[in-house]
């Protein structure tokens, strides 16, 4: 008897329901027209907002660091795996974000999960938006603090939770995504920050999709909303617009030094290879030296959203380059995604558990490096496939 038989049964059920996901294979670099599963497709499925995954300066920095320092760091940060490049990157990010200090984790996921679980204990309280990223949710669970979820962007509901908790012992953490990854809307950071101040709560934002996208030179939502000095914990990613891999936490020196001692992924998982740190360092130069990339990203975003809306698609509440095309049921979203792919557009179908039941969608993300022709062709394909599948009228 196979004790793992239930896994095969579950997979069969997913195949039956049309929600089984085969991994598509990217056979070229991550570029606007990419080779995927043997086809040239317009790539609307990456987080490579600024086209930095293939930027010559990042590529060169990675190669040079590899030649000079090898391919691995050899240990976790707290044993012997802290290289000069790691510290240079953290100092660079802290200056860029205008904060006291920064610590880099292996990914945005570990930055969130490692930080939330480290700074709160079981007697504490977390007040969290219902659509916050999975890495925040996992961090909350690992902390063993009490979790209070408020409806998406409902500041009044968050206020009621904080007011209810006002007399109770334990610290309070108010936490939101800066940009919500599945809907592309922006968190109500000014209102939540004011709430945190009123109730003496710790304020934390996950800027994974705002890093390199919102704020001056892509400094994120704190800069976008002019909240400098008022958000205690800012998480960002190096894996999306920055084009490489990693996550970072910005805040006070005490916060960062505390994470050096208690951030479990920092303590128990090996640090980045030199190539990763060097490429990230080069990326921050690009953010400052080539602001036209961010302008092109937003120009393309406006153009593509307007085209989808004109065609009659429902694009939800998006305010950023993440534009969902709402479909409804997960099986329909996956079918739409497959039909788009066969017609030459790569855009991922997303259903439960990543988004709630009935809110399945195809998610599109344009980048700075898509040309007008790419976007026009993608819109034409969306229109014809959308009509064929009766998602829009004739």
Ligand X SMILES: *Cc1c(COP(=O)(O)O)cnc(C)c1O
Catalytic site positions = 181, 209, 240
Whether the CB-CB separation of 175 and 147 falls below 8 Å is answered with no
Whether the CB-CB separation of 214 and 387 falls below 8 Å is answered with no
Single out the segment in contact with ligand X by CB under 6 A; choices: 38-46, 72-80, 106-114, 216-224.
106-114
Rounded Cα gap, residues 242 and 218, in angstroms: 10
Beta bridge partners of 113: none
**Under rule CB under 6 A, how many of the chain's residues touch ligand X?**
14
Whether the CB-CB separation of 280 and 98 falls below 8 Å is answered with no
Position 48 contacts ligand X (CB under 6 A): no
Single out the segment in contact with ligand X by CB under 6 A; choices: 65-73, 80-88, 105-113, 351-359.
105-113
Which residue, 283 or 332, has its beta carbon nearer to ligand X? 283
Question: Where do we find the tokens 């302008």?
Answer: 295
Q: Which residue is nearest to ligand X (CB)?
A: 108
Which residue, 239 or 391, has its beta carbon nearer to ligand X? 239
Whether the CB-CB separation of 210 and 173 falls below 8 Å is answered with no
Rounded Cα gap, residues 293 and 298, in angstroms: 9
Report the residue from 107, 300, 323, 367 that binds ligand X according to the rule CB under 6 A. 107
CB of 141 to ligand X, least distance (A): 15
What lies within 8 Å, CB to CB, of 96 at 6+ separation is: 217, 219, 284, 287, 288
CB of 244 to ligand X, least distance (A): 9
DSSP state of 149: E
Structure tokens at 78: 């707290």
Position 51 contacts ligand X (CB under 6 A): no
CB of 390 to ligand X, least distance (A): 31
Q: In Å, how far are 115, 262, 310 from 135, measured between CA atoms?
A: 10, 17, 35
Binding mask 190-219 for ligand X (x = CB under 6 A): ----------------x-xx----------
Rounded Cα gap, residues 375 and 138, in angstroms: 36
Which residue, 237 or 348, has its beta carbon nearer to ligand X? 237
Which residue, 363 or 374, has its beta carbon nearer to ligand X? 363
Position 128 contacts ligand X (CB under 6 A): no
DSSP secondary structure letters along 291-359: THHHHHHHHHHHHHHHHHHHHT---TT--SSEEEEEEESHHHHHHHHHHHHHHTEE-EEE-TTTS-TT-
Position 185 contacts ligand X (CB under 6 A): no
Single out the segment in contact with ligand X by CB under 6 A; choices: 35-43, 103-111, 143-151, 307-315.
103-111
Whether the CB-CB separation of 230 and 251 falls below 8 Å is answered with no
Position 181 contacts ligand X (CB under 6 A): yes
Which residue, 108 or 386, has its beta carbon nearer to ligand X? 108
CB of 208 to ligand X, least distance (A): 3
CB of 239 to ligand X, least distance (A): 3
Report the residue from 127, 140, 153, 177 that binds ligand X according to the rule CB under 6 A. 177
Question: Where do we find the tokens 């290879």?
Answer: 273
Position 115 contacts ligand X (CB under 6 A): no
Rounded Cα gap, residues 122 and 145, in angstroms: 4
Report the residue from 112, 221, 320, 364 that binds ligand X according to the rule CB under 6 A. 112
Position 239 contacts ligand X (CB under 6 A): yes
Give me the residues that bind ligand X (CB under 6 A), please: 107-109, 112, 133, 135, 177, 181, 206, 208-209, 237, 239, 247
């Amino acid at each position: 008897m196979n004790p793992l038989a239930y896994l095969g049964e579950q997979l069969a059920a997913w195949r039956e329901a049309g929600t089984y996901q085969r991994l598509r294979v990217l056979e070229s670099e991550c570029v606007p027209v990419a080779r995927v599963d043997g086809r040239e497709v317009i790539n609307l499925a990456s987080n490579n907002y600024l086209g930095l995954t293939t930027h010559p300066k990042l590529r060169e920095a990675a190669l040079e660091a590899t030649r000079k320092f090898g391919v691995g760091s050899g240990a976790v940060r707290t044993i012997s795996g802290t290289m000069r490049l790691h510290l240079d990157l953290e100092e660079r990010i802290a200056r860029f974000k205008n904060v006291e200090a920064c610590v880099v984790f292996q990914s945005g996921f570990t930055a969130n999960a490692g930080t939330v679980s480290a700074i709160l204990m079981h007697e504490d309280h977390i007040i969290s938006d219902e659509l916050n990223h999975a890495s925040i949710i996992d961090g909350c669970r690992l902390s063993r603090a009490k979790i209070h979820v408020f409806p998406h962007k409902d500041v009044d509901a968050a206020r009621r939770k904080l007011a209810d908790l006002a007399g109770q012992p334990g610290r309070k953490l108010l936490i939101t995504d800066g940009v919500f990854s599945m809907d592309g809307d922006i968190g109500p950071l000014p209102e939540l920050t004011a709430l945190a101040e009123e109730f003496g709560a710790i304020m934390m934002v996950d800027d994974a999709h705002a890093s390199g996208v919102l704020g001056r030179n892509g400094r994120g939502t704190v800069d976008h909303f002019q909240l400098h000095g008022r958000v205690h914990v800012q998480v960002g990613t190096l894996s999306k617009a920055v084009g490489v891999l990693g996550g970072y936490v910005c805040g006070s020196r005490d916060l960062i030094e505390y994470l050096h001692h208690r951030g479990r992924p920092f303590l128990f998982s090996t640090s980045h290879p030199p190539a990763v740190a060097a490429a990230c360092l080069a990326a921050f130069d690009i953010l400052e030296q080539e602001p036209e990339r961010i302008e092109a990203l937003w120009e393309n975003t406006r153009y593509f959203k307007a085209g989808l809306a004109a065609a009659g698609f429902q694009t939800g509440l998006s305010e950023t380059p993440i534009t969902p095309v709402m479909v409804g049921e997960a099986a329909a979203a996956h079918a739409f995604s497959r039909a788009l792919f066969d017609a030459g557009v790569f855009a991922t179908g997303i259903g439960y558990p990543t988004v709630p039941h009935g809110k399945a969608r195809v998610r599109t993300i344009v980048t700075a490096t898509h040309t007008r022709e790419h976007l026009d062709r993608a819109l034409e394909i969306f229109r014809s496939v959308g009509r064929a599948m009766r998602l829009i009228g004739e």
